[in-house]
Amino acid sequence: MSARKQGDGQPEDGGATAGKRLKIAKFSEDPEKKGLSRRLKDAEISLPIVYGTIAFYLGRKASESQSHKWTVYVRGATNEDLSAVIKRVVFQLHPSFNNPTRVMEAPPFELSECGWGEFEIAISLFFHPDVCDKQLDLYHHLKLYPEDESGPQSTKKPVVVESYDEIVFPDPSEAFYARVQNNPAVIVPRMPAGFNISAPAPENTSERERGDTKDHPLSQWFMNFSEADELLKLAAARQQPFMEMIYEN
Amino acid sequence: MDAKDILGLPKNQLPIPQEKKSRPPKEPQRKPDGISREVYALTGGLAPLMPSVDVSQLKRRPPSDEKVTWQWLPFTNSARKDDLQLFHWVRVVNGVPPTGDYAFAKYNKSANIIKYTDEEYEKYLTDPAWTKEETDQLFDLCERFDLRFIVIADRFPSSRTVEELKDRYYSVSRALLSARAPPADITGHPLVKEPYNISQEVERKRALSMVLSQTKQQERKDTEVLAEAKRITESRMAAKGPEESELPAVANIGPDNSQRAITGDAVTPSTAMPSSAIAASSTLMADNASTLASLRMLRVYLRTYALDQMVQAASASAGLRTIKRVEQTLQELGVNLKPKVPTKAVCAEHLELRKEILTLLNLQKQLQYKEAEGTSFQDSPYSETPGTPKRAPRGDQDRPFMPDPLGFGGDRFGKRDQKRKAPGRTSEAAQSPSQSKRPRKMKASDI
């Protein structure tokens, strides 16, 4: 992906590859490794993601061993492209599947399969070197059968289970920050005025493949996660009259 | 009953001789030489490592053929430079006085001072800060006082510090050594191997005197800072290590840092940070600080995980029941126990809400306790609880005591959940703390 290449092709070329082990040291004297070893202290970059499964009952085409077709995926919460941060995703399926370890190297990070059983899928996220050298593991239970057991299953309406979460990167490296500061998928902190890191030259959008899921075939089923809703409920709870008692006496 | 039976080993056929054997070893124990039996027992039945006194010598008498007298005789000391003659008692055997030098002369050791000639001085030893005269004086004093530099410094005519004198002496000696002997021979010499470093010495002594004159408070502060620094370096080492970042035992990187971490994250375009987000007490902040610190040690984490940790930290002081009650309250308020949309703002709000509920429950509990104490003072008309008030054993002077009006409690607490007891007076001011705890003869409700 050209985006990635741009990121790695920062002026400190030698440093970018050599300095993969990111140091915690705030300011390295060595200008070559600046981009990777300089970290933004007390700042965090967060990446809101949604991960989950959508399962369709196959109806007439169902067999004993393959009654459902399901897709497990990791997408950006706003359906933006995650590939600037995530390098690859590994889905670990039930051992009864062929090659239960499925690796997705490019967005959209998803996997479709047919099966009959529900099990826990382990999703491992691997990030680009300047982002984080550790993987992050998520777990998701594949749900095939709807809650409501009344009547036959519909082939039109899938069983959707999604979880919203945010991946937080504390003390991100400057290179990472520079790369993603204008990325719509990423939440970056606002830096004080005068803090300028030059972003790499914008890629030619037509050249790279679309990694976002805005027009994904399954996007109609994606759940809406409204933060506002939750915030409202929380605020209302805190405002409850009896909660004010704690401030008196 | 023997294991030997079980194992099938032959039993020891002669038990009787065994008993006999055990007795003889005791015999010699009873007659040790020179030391009484009891002393032997004190040492645990073992002989002492070294004989304290050569017992055989104790009862020895001088051989009777020798004739010993004591005489007042003069003597000279070879260690003295003058010819002073003193007198002392001498043990004379058979008319022959002892020979040999004065017994203590051998202890008169002195330091080896290198002497230099004038030419050597000209060639190797000149120094802008030192005149030849001074150097000569220094060396003379060194010889006289055996390199006791404190004394030498005292006696030195011009005021020079001990370090300066030492420096001059050692550098002169070193120069002389290296001039006189070929370099290969003297590399082992301590003067050459570890030259005197005057600046280091000055610094060291200054530091020592500072440490000596430290006040107790300063000392305590220093140890704290050092411990802190150690912890930080340890945590850095831990985080630098391979994949799995161990959560270090960082108690407090300092509340300031954590404050910045919480409030320093700028407002992002999509979320609005409520300004009242941070209203925690100081102890909770400390807990938070350590959780935050440990979170920052991880290179990456999920916000739900972070929230979990913070919730745990906040609830650390609460028991399981309290936590359950917090969750119950959350559910009653219509809030999800785990937020469905855990953004930064939502998580912060959620955490704050939990903390507030916790505080609320704690306060309620405290109130209950105080009421329980207070109800023992109540006359029955004032009591709203139909049940028996708790009877705390108090002194006898409580009957004429008029409790405060109910007003302050009634309205505010109207909306409480059913677990609350009736509001009572919590005016502890009227109660003297030193009331005796004798059980009362009459009950409060008897009035």
Residue A123 in this model has a pLDDT that exceeds 90: yes
User: Are the CB atoms for A51 and A75 separated by under 8 Å?
Assistant: yes
| Contact residues, B window 403-432, toward A, CB-based 8 Å cutoff | 412-413, 415-416
**Which residues lie closer than 8 Å to B446 by C-beta, 6 or more apart?**
none
Interface of A with B in 24-63 (CB under 8 A): 24, 42-44, 46, 48
Does B246 contact A at CB distance below 8 Å?
no
SS3 A108: coil
Q: Which chain A residues touch B304 with a CB distance below 8 Å?
A: 165
- Subunit contact B344:A171, Cβ cutoff 8 A: no
Kindly state the helix (H) or strand (E) to which residue B150 belongs, with its residue range.
helix B149-155
- pLDDT computed for residue B117 by the predictor: 87
Distance CA B141, CA B147 (A): 8
- Of B274, B304, B356, Cβ closest to residue A246: B356
Reading the block at residue B204, the tokens are 């060291």
pLDDT of residue B48: 62
Tokens for B170, please give them: 């050692």
Q: Which residues contact A51 (CB under 8 A, 6 or more apart)?
A: A72, A73, A74, A75, A123, A138, A140, A162, A163, A165
Q: Which residues of B40-75 are buried (b: 16+ CB within 10 A; e: fewer)?
A: beeeeeeeeeeeeeeeeeeeeeeeeeeeeeeeeeee
CA distance A189 to A40: 10
Spatial contact of B270 and A137, defined as CB atoms under 8 Å apart: no
User: Is A120 contained in some domain?
Assistant: yes
Query: What counts of helices (H) and strands (E) characterise chain A?
Result: 5, 8
**Sequence-separated (6 or more) residues with CB below 8 Å from residue A219:** A79, A213
Looking at the complex, does the CB of residue A177 fall below 8 Å from at least one CB of chain B? Answer: no
Rounded to the nearest angstrom, the minimum Cα separation between A140 and chain B is 14
Mean pLDDT score across all residues of chain B: 72
Tokens 């095939």 belong to residue: A144
Chain B CB contacts of A133 below 8 Å: 299
Strand partners, A68: A57, A115
pLDDT at B435: 46
| Chain A interface includes B370 (CB < 8 A) | no
What does the block give as tokens for B107? Answer: 């202890």
The CATH topology of domain B118-196 is Arc Repressor Mutant, subunit A (1.10.10)
Range of lowest pLDDT (A31-35, A194-198, B203-207, B264-268): B264-268
Among A9-18, A130-139, A178-187, B174-183, the range scoring the smallest mean pLDDT is A9-18
Which tokens is B283 given?
């102890």
- Say yes or no for a CB contact (<8 Å) between A243 and B264: no
Query: What distance in Å separates residue A99's CA from the closest CA in chain B?
Result: 26
Q: What is the pTM of this model?
A: 0.46
Would an 8 Å CB–CB cutoff place A120 in contact with chain B? no
Considering only residues 218 to 247 of chain A, which have any Cβ-Cβ distance to chain B shorter than 8 Å? 225-227, 229-231, 233-238, 240-243, 245-246
CB contact under 8 A, B356 and A238: yes
Interface contact flag, B415 A242, Cβ < 8 Å: yes
Chain A residue with Cα closest to B351 = A234
* A186 burial type by CB count under 10 A (0-12 exposed, 13-18 middle, 19+ buried): buried
Query: Where would I find the H helices in B241-343?
Result: 255-264, 282-297, 303-314, 320-332
Cβ distance of A170 and B302 shorter than 8 Å: no
Judge contact between B68 and B91, C-beta under 8 A: yes
Structural domain includes residue A1: no
Q: What's the pLDDT band for A53 if we cut at 50, 70, 90? A: very high
- Domain membership of residue A49 as a residue range: 20-25+37-189+221-239
C-alpha distance from residue B137 to each of A14, B133, B174, B191, B331 (Å): 64, 6, 18, 21, 93
Pick from B240, B343, B364 the residue to mutate for testing the A interface (most A CBs within 10 Å): B343
What is the per-residue pLDDT for A122?
A: 93
Look at residue A134 and tell me if it is in a domain: yes
Q: Which residue ranges in chain B fall short of pLDDT 50?
A: 13-29, 243-282, 383, 387-437, 439-440, 443-444
A-chain CB neighbours of B259 within 8 Å are none
Q: How far lies A25's CA from each of A10, A132, B239, B292, B300, in Å?
A: 20, 15, 11, 18, 17
Query: Chain A contact for B243, CB < 8 A?
Result: yes
Q: What is the dihedral of CA B13, B19, B20, B26, to 10 degrees?
A: 150
- Mean pLDDT along residues A120-144: 91
Are B403 and B427 contacting, i.e. CB atoms less than 8 angstroms apart? yes
| Complex ipTM | 0.74
Could you tell me the end-to-end alpha-carbon distance of chain A, in angstroms, rounded to an integer?
61
Which residues, 6+ apart, have CB-to-CB distance to B383 below 8 Å? B375, B389, B422, B424
- B407 CA: distance to closest CA in chain A (Å): 14
**Cβ-based contacts of A245 with chain B (< 8 Å):** 360, 363, 412-413
Sign of torsion over alpha carbons A194, A200, A205, A210? negative
Whole-angstrom CA distances from B375 to A35, B436, B445 are 68, 18, 10
pLDDT computed for residue B187 by the predictor? 76
Compare A5 and A152 and report the one with higher pLDDT. Answer: A152
Q: Please tell me the distance from the alpha carbon of residue A44 to that of residue A138, in angstroms, as a whole number.
A: 20
Q: Which residues of A touch B294 (CB under 8 A)?
A: none
Residue range A62-101, pLDDT digits in tens: 888 888 999 999 998 888 888 888 999 999 999 999 899 9
Tell me, yes or no, if B281 comes closer than 8 A to chain A by beta carbon.
no
Q: Is the dihedral of CA B95, B101, B104, B106 positive or negative?
A: negative
Q: Which pLDDT does position A52 carry in this prediction?
A: 92
Q: Which residue of A has its CA nearest to B304?
A: A165
Map tokens 């831990």 to a residue: B238
* Nearest chain A alpha carbon to B298: A170
- Nearest Cα neighbor of B252 from B226, B231, B279 is B231
Q: Inspect the interface and report whether the beta carbons of A168 and B267 lie closer than 8 Å.
A: no
Residues A100 and A119: their CA atoms lie apart, in Å, by 12
CA-nearest of A154, A57, A165, A212 to B344 is A165
SS3 A45: strand
Distance CA A96, CA B101 (A): 102
Residue A95 in any domain: the answer is yes
Single out the residue of B70, B119, B116 nearest to residue B93, CA to CA. B70
User: CA B353 to CA B357: how far, in whole Å?
Assistant: 6
For B29-87, write each residue's pLDDT tens digit. Answer: 455 565 567 776 777 766 667 766 777 777 877 777 778 888 898 888 888 888 888 99
- What is the domain-level CATH number for residue A102? 2.60.40.1970
Range list of H helices, A11-161 = 13-18, 34-37
